[in-house]
Chains A and B, each alone.
Chain A
Amino acid sequence: DVKVTQSSRYLVKRTGEKVFLECVQDMDHENMFWYRQDPGLGLRLIYFSYDVKMKEKGDIPEGYSVSREKKERFSLILESASTNQTSMYLCASRLGNLGYTFGSGTRLTVV
């Protein structure tokens, strides 16, 4: 089975901190995605990447950046965390036109 691993299940950070959320997949998938999930708003796409060093903005990229230096790793960066970035963050990977495989999620709280 494909595995998508998010490095932290829970994180608490202070306002203004730089935050790194890491995601690793083990099946050589080309496409990787970062979503945030909030009650009543569903899954919202932040950024995605279809190849190493390639990135595309999703629907809500403001306040975030990403890095994909290696195919298996896709990092989400909050340059200066704010309280409105408190959320559940989900990473996913995809091979071709099949479905996504999601990680377990990181619940980030910014205080």
Chain B
Amino acid sequence: GESVGLHLPTLSVQEGDNSIINCAYSNSASDYFIWYKQESGKGPQFIIDIRSNMDKRQGQRVTVLLNKTVKHLSLQIAATQPGDSAVYFCAENRASGNTGKLIFGQGTTLQVKP
């Protein structure tokens, strides 16, 4: 099946540092992107989204950057905390032929060291 790619399966950072999680997508027609966080034993939770007419969006301690030229999406987490330890997924919505499905990446595991 199709998938959105993530660059690294695991990212380890020190508490208090900033984290950057990357995602590459392949379809230039995609018009909407989302980051999800999944803690152990739980379902994925929405973190932040961005539409293709934007290149940056900020939330509380999180920023999503979209580079359409190279089809790259990133999630930046400021001042990473132990509670940020989780698996992070990117997802894309494809504007053409959309049947309501999102395409998910494989996920990056963020480990926060105290």
List the interface of chain A (C-beta within 8 A of B): 4, 6, 30-31, 33, 42-45, 48, 50, 56, 58-59, 90, 94, 97-105, 107
User: Total contacts A to B, CB within 8 angstroms?
Assistant: 57
Q: Is residue B102 within 8 Å, beta carbon to beta carbon, of the partner chain?
A: yes
- Whether B44 lies near A94 (C-beta < 8 A) is no
Quick one: which of B41, B91, B105 has the most chain A CB within 10 A? B41
Q: Which of A30, A43, A99, A105 contacts B46 (CB 8 A)?
A: A99
* A102 and B43 contacting across the interface, CB-CB below 8 Å: yes
12 A-B pairs within 8 Å (CB atoms) are namely A6-B43, A42-B3, A42-B89, A42-B106, A42-B107, A43-B104, A94-B100, A99-B36, A99-B91, A100-B46, A103-B43, A105-B42
Mask, B77-93, CB within 8 Å of A = 1, is 00000000000010101
Q: Is B112 an interface residue (CB 8 A)?
A: no
Contact present for A42 and B105 (CB under 8 Å):
yes
Give the nearest-CB partner of B105 in chain A: A42
Contacts of A45 in B (CB 8 A): 1, 101
Do residues A31 and B46 form an inter-chain contact, with CB atoms below 8 A? no
Q: How far is the CB of A111 from chain B (nearest CB, A)?
A: 20
Q: Is B99 a contact of A59 with CB atoms below 8 Å? A: no
- The residue of chain B having its C-beta at the shortest distance from the C-beta of A45 within the complex is B101
A59 touches B100 (CB 8 A): no
Report A79 CB to chain B, min CB distance, Å.
Answer: 22
A30, A42, A104: the one contacting B42 at CB < 8 Å is A104
